[in-house]
A and B are shown apart, each in its own frame.
Chain A
């Protein structure tokens, strides 16, 4: 039996090319790691949808189980978990993030 929150997550990550689950919002990030990913996404200019997991405890726990990833932020591209702050930072530095966005046809903000 699939968790109702899993259905919600599936809809959300299918609803936009790039989805960022974070603590706080892009304008008011509530955690340094979330703020860093917001900054890096801004640098790439990619269009993305963010969700504040601090507003929704079901979503917060649901995501940990759904993605087998215990921390936030979590970045999804075309429905797939790409990673958290570490991985996104490494990918940004190496140019892989911009390349991934290009390959996946992610539109600019």
Chain B
């Protein structure tokens, strides 16, 4: 199972239109990515909540189609 970086970015932007998303393919296997996401939607949210928002944007693919997605989330400075 794997996902394309572009699909990850598209899903995140659909849920958070203002998000700036940078995706790094960690292993080249379409299964291990790192995503740096900056969005106003994260402001005031705990890290846990921010990551949960990203996981829900991915619509249940996390842990299934997508094995590993390291996340660095923040609101704009």
Query: Which A residues are closer than 8 A to B by beta carbons?
Result: 33, 64, 68-72, 81-87, 90
Contact = CB atoms under 8 A, between A and B. Distances in A.
Contact of B60 (A69, A70, A87): A70
A85 B64 CA distance: 17
A70 B55 contact: yes
> Closest 7 A-B residue pairs measured CB to CB?
A70-B63, A70-B62, A71-B63, A87-B47, A83-B48, A86-B71, A70-B55
B13 interface: no
B46 to A, nearest CB: 9
Nearest to A84: B51
Contacts of B71: 86
B13 to A, nearest CB: 20
Interface in B50-70: 51-52, 55-56, 60, 62-64, 68, 70
Contacts of A85: 70
Contacts of A70: 55, 60, 62-64
A69 B47 contact: no
Interface in B27-61: 47-48, 51-52, 55-56, 60
Contact of A68 (B47, B52, B68): B52
Given A33-B68, A68-B52, A70-B55, A83 B47 contact: yes
Interface of A is mostly: mixed
Contacts of B47: 83, 87, 90
A69 B55 contact: yes
B52 A86 contact: no
A72 B71 CA distance: 14
A85 B71 CA distance: 10
